[in-house]
Structure 1
Amino acid sequence: MLDAEQVASLGFPQAIAALRAALVAGLDPETEPARVSFRLGGGEILVMPSGTRDLAGVKLVGVAPRNPARGLPRIHGMYVLFDAPSLVPRAILDGAALTALRTPAVSALGVDLVAPPGASRLVVFGTGPQALGHVRALCAVRPVETVRVVGRDPARTANFVDRLGRDGLRASVADAGAVAEADLVACCTTAREPLFPGHLLGPEAVVVAVGSHEPDAREVDFETVRRCGTLVESRAVALREAGDIVQAIAADPSIADRLTTFADLVRDAVPARPRLIKTVGMGWEDLVVAAAVVDAVA
């Protein structure tokens, strides 16, 4: 049984390395079992399975949108890691902590694949655990010097900026217009409509959007998708779940043919370097990071 502290102790550099190594070794996200969602209770329960020849695992996550008003985290869950041949359980991990580790790690891997080496100006939308995790993960792959924070609640935004300051970062409160001067933009929200107009982005800015896995929700607009080109975890999953992509394709079907995957870039199979990284979260990512956690604490 591994608690949240033990899961987090792996750290972003090791999680990023584990994800990269799995793709280099040939893991194919296109063959992954689909996520299953059930509307139950105060939200939804997600079931996310994955497996390889050696390991299998499943994450159960409860997402309750009204929990913050109750003083509770929005996400709770657990992850069970099995030995694949025997299906004997090897470990149970805190699922919320695993999500908080692997989601920013996936984003940081994408940024490391496509962002200019000197990218140092970050704008982050959101003030929750994923926003904090993304700041820290992106600092692990790029020399981030300034962080400008865009949040809905002024008090929470100010507290978030103070927290980043205690981490030694030059952080300040901003509005959506800050993306015009950003090298990196991290969208870590529950928004269902675009957070900023895509025409503001600089010619080399890299955008990460992680907030939704529903086809009718998006954090970036059509202009961002059109201008930047898109890096996704899996073409099939992006076309099914990524609202940012699904809605852009409705306006321009040719976008579906211009998606690049993490596996493409890790294996250097294509020359293109897209500047929008759209992820929805996949079971293979949880499996890879969970296995790395278990190996690290063994």
Structure 2
Amino acid sequence: MRPMKIVSASEIEEMASAHWPDLVDAAQRSLVALASGQCEAPLRTALPLISGTLLTMPGRLTGMRTALVKLISVVPKNPARGMPNTQGVAVLFDGETGEPLSLLDGRALTAVRTPAVTAAAVRELAGGATHVAVVGSGMQAEWHARVFDAVFHPRRITVASRVPAHGHRLVDVLRTELQAEILAANSIREAVAHADVILCCTSASQAFLEADMLHGGPVKVAAVGAFTPDMAEVAPSVFRESRKAYVDDRDACFHEAGDIIQAIADSALSDGDVVPVGGAGTDNQRVTIFKSVGSAIEDAAVASYLCGSN
């Protein structure tokens, strides 16, 4: 039996930062697999904790030598304790022998996988980005800004946070790292007013992005923060403008994506308007929406690349 490799958070972050285009390509393969059914990805389970949720996510791409299981805890009260709100591990297994090959820091894997998937979707639907608005100031907002700067080279990235001090703190960090001009907005409306790509990276329980906040278009909206039926970032009015929602995992979105569930309940979308983004091609509508809830298939593709186990 081979010794299991331990891959730390810092190693994941360093490898990802040095190879973003390759990581986005790996994420694209996972989106195509999800769209075509060339994968095994049972719906994730959610176990209530005392003050949070423990998520279990297994998955494997057809033809890939490896399979993955990720365990992630989400505890919203943790920042007040001086701890991250998400923690966990991911285990990469040999698909033939069942050997555990690598143990990866789950929080860092999620941190780099999610924006790689978003970048792959935006590349598929739009091709590029000139002015990016990032709504949020946490881990996902930070890493989305990094990926989009490295992959699309936008002229400007504008950050808005519900807690302005947190937004300004993120802007200070990004200005030391990125090539784009980094601005802090006083409100979400101000941040998105001239953006051609809007990245919603929050844990909002109530939708904040409305159709009247968007410019004449075209504009691509990526909503990545809400992962339960009771969470939402994009209001039904925006879906009514787009008339379609591109998603990473269609079945999971019907069960877990509050944005999608609420838009269907409000008759802004029908079930048939929710389509996989993998292989979708360019969308030239005034408003285009990509909604992701995350999938172990995405984790498996990105982890396999990071561990050299494709």
Answer yes or no: same fold by TM over 0.5: yes
- Structure 1 CA distance for aligned equivalents of residues 42 and 9 of structure 2: 26
Matched, 1:104 2:115: yes
- Aligned residue number for residue 55 of structure 2: 46
Contact 1:126–1:149 under 8 Å retained in 2 = yes
Structure 1 pair 23–207 and aligned structure 2 pair: CA distance change class (3 A): closer
Q: Deviations over 1:78-137 (max 9, x none)?
A: 0001011211111100000000010000000011111253x3111111111100111111
Secondary structure at the residue paired with 2:83? coil
Q: CA deviation at 1:161?
A: 1.1
User: What letter corresponds to residue 240 of structure 1 in structure 2?
Assistant: H
Q: CA deviation at 1:23?
A: 4.9
Matched, 1:141 2:141: no
Which has the higher mean CA deviation after the structures are superposed, 76-85 or 164-173? 164-173
The aligned length equals 293
Q: CA deviation at 1:255?
A: 2.6
Q: Percent identity?
A: 34
- Aligned residue number for residue 260 of structure 2: 245
Secondary structure at the residue paired with 1:144? coil
User: What letter corresponds to residue 211 of structure 2 in structure 1?
Assistant: G
Matched, 1:83 2:98: no
Matched, 1:5 2:10: yes
User: What letter corresponds to residue 252 of structure 1 in structure 2?
Assistant: S
Q: Please give the TM-score of this superposition, normalised by the length of structure 1.
A: 0.91
- Structure 2 CA distance for aligned equivalents of residues 149 and 271 of structure 1: 25
Secondary structure at the residue paired with 1:263? coil
- Structure 2 CA distance for aligned equivalents of residues 134 and 102 of structure 1: 10
Q: Deviations over 1:43-100 (max 9, x none)?
A: 1100000124522110000111011111111111000010112111111000000000
Contact 2:263–2:269 under 8 Å retained in 1 = no
Q: Deviations over 1:206-233 (max 9, x none)?
A: 1111111111210010111121221101
Secondary structure at the residue paired with 2:270? helix
- Aligned residue number for residue 210 of structure 1: 224
Structure 1 unmatched ranges of 5 or more: none
Contact 1:110–1:262 under 8 Å retained in 2 = yes
User: What letter corresponds to residue 5 of structure 1 in structure 2?
Assistant: S
Aligned counterparts, 1:165-180, within 5 A: 165-167=175-177, 168-174=179-185, 175-178=187-190, 179-180=192-193
Contact 1:29–1:233 under 8 Å retained in 2 = no
- Structure 2 CA distance for aligned equivalents of residues 102 and 76 of structure 1: 15
- Aligned residue number for residue 234 of structure 2: 220
Q: Please give the TM-score of this superposition, normalised by the length of structure 2.
A: 0.88
RMSD, aligned CA:
2.2
User: What letter corresponds to residue 251 of structure 2 in structure 1?
Assistant: A
Contact 1:29–1:284 under 8 Å retained in 2 = no
Contact 1:10–1:292 under 8 Å retained in 2 = no
Structure 1 pair 200–156 and aligned structure 2 pair: CA distance change class (3 A): closer
